[in-house]
């Protein structure tokens, strides 16, 4: 996931541009303003996001990191595997109005496939089948290590003589 040449091999030459997370987090154009924290109607912001993405759950709300930034709400739609989701809604920090949204369902195919790898990498797929697969693979590796130690220390066979070997 972190090695770009392997990403290009796995997802194609256009993959780095399609899956670039920093480019996906760029808000739509707007006039920068200072955050009006006490005056913002946070419930209205939640309702705006819920109206735009009715089946999504809100996972994170980020205040602007620097002056002139936007308020970002991350949502997770039911089809998304990433725990925090890749659906984004941007709000103007001055008045709390939605200035843009990014729907994870319309991302390029390479970005969607790449996003499906993250939970596998982090071990955060919540399905029973995935948990069983990870449990069985962990147990098989533990069993392999145990049997290796056992055969090294206790189950050594008699040394085999090779025909024609010097005596």
Note whether residue 73 is domain-resident.
yes
Note whether residue 165 is domain-resident.
no
Note whether residue 77 is domain-resident.
yes
Note whether residue 17 is domain-resident.
no
Domain count, the chain: 1
Range in 1-10, 38-47, 112-121, 136-145 with the lowest mean pLDDT:
1-10
Note whether residue 74 is domain-resident.
yes
User: In terms of residue numbers, what domain contains 76?
Assistant: 27-108+117-122
pTM: 0.65
The angle subtended at Cα 69 by Cα 68 and Cα 72, nearest 5°, is 155
In the numeric block, which tokens belong to residue 64? 């602007």
Note whether residue 133 is domain-resident.
no
Q: Any idea which residue has 């130690």 for tokens? A: 149
pLDDT in tens, 131-156: 888 889 899 999 999 999 988 888 76
Rounded Cα–Cα distance for residues 61 and 46 (Å):
10
Per-residue model confidence (pLDDT) at position 63:
87
pLDDT in tens, 70-121: 889 999 999 887 888 889 999 988 888 899 998 888 887 777 777 777 776 6
Note whether residue 56 is domain-resident.
yes
Note whether residue 129 is domain-resident.
no
């Amino acid at each position: 996931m972190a090695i770009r040449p392997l990403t290009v091999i796995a997802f194609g030459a256009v993959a780095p541009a399609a899956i670039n997370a920093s480019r996906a987090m760029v808000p739509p154009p707007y006039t920068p303003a200072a955050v009006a924290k006490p005056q913002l109607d946070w419930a209205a912001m939640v309702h705006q996001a819920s109206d735009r993405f009715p089946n999504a759950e809100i996972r994170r709300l980020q205040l602007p990191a620097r002056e002139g930034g936007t308020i970002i709400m991350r949502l997770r739609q039911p089809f998304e595997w990433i725990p925090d989701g890749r659906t984004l809604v941007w709000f103007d920090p001055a008045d709390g109005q939605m200035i843009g949204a990014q729907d994870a369902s319309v991302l390029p195919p390479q970005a969607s496939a790449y996003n499906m790898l993250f939970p596998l990498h982090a071990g955060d797929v919540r399905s029973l089948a995935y948990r069983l697969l990870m449990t069985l693979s962990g147990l098989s590796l533990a069993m392999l290590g145990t049997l290796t130690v056992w055969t090294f220390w206790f189950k050594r066979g008699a040394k085999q003589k090779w025909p024609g070997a010097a005596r």
